[in-house]
């Protein structure tokens, strides 16, 4: 028997320590609380998985703003600036 990588001897040691720490009267209450907590995590995990599967199966429509962001940007090319030629003056 191997649960979460913990074998039977390790589980027995953990149970003995828990019995010493919590006592025989509180140990069943602790086990019950731990069981309820684990069940809550399990149901939350299943609900999360259902929501993810639903979102993957039925994608939301793309809004207009998202379409604008996804559209390829047009590149604006400015004309090349050429230096003005200075008028030549006769230098005689």
Residues 6+ apart with CB under 8 A from 6: 14
Residue 17: give the domain boundaries.
8-58
Answer whether residue 38 is part of any domain. yes
**8 confidence band (pLDDT: 50, 70, 90):** confident
Is 83 in a helix, a strand, or coil? coil
Given this model, what pLDDT does residue 36 score? 93
Answer whether residue 15 is part of any domain. yes
Answer whether residue 51 is part of any domain. yes
Which has more pLDDT, 35 or 83?
A: 35
Answer whether residue 25 is part of any domain. yes
Total domains in the fold of the chain: 1
| Paired strand residues for 6 | 3
Answer whether residue 24 is part of any domain. yes
Answer whether residue 80 is part of any domain. no
CA distances from 28 to 9, 15, 41, 81 (A): 21, 12, 20, 85
Contact present, 18 and 30 (Cβ < 8 Å): yes
Answer whether residue 67 is part of any domain. no
- pLDDT for 11 beyond 80: yes
Given this model, what pLDDT does residue 40 score? 92
Distance CA 38, CA 43 (A): 9
Q: What is the pLDDT of residues 50-83, one digit of tens each?
A: 999 988 887 666 565 555 555 555 665 656 666 5
Answer whether residue 43 is part of any domain. yes
pTM to 2 decimal places: 0.43
């Amino acid at each position: 028997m191997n649960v979460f990588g913990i074998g039977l001897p390790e589980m027995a040691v953990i149970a003995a320590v828990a019995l010493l720490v919590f006592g025989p009267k509180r140990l069943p209450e602790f086990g019950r609380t731990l069981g309820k907590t684990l069940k809550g995590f399990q149901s939350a995990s299943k609900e999360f998985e259902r929501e993810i599967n639903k979102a993957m199966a039925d994608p939301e429509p793309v809004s207009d703003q998202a379409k604008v962001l996804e559209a390829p940007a047009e590149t604006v090319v400015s004309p090349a600036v050429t230096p003005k030629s200075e008028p030549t003056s006769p230098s005689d």
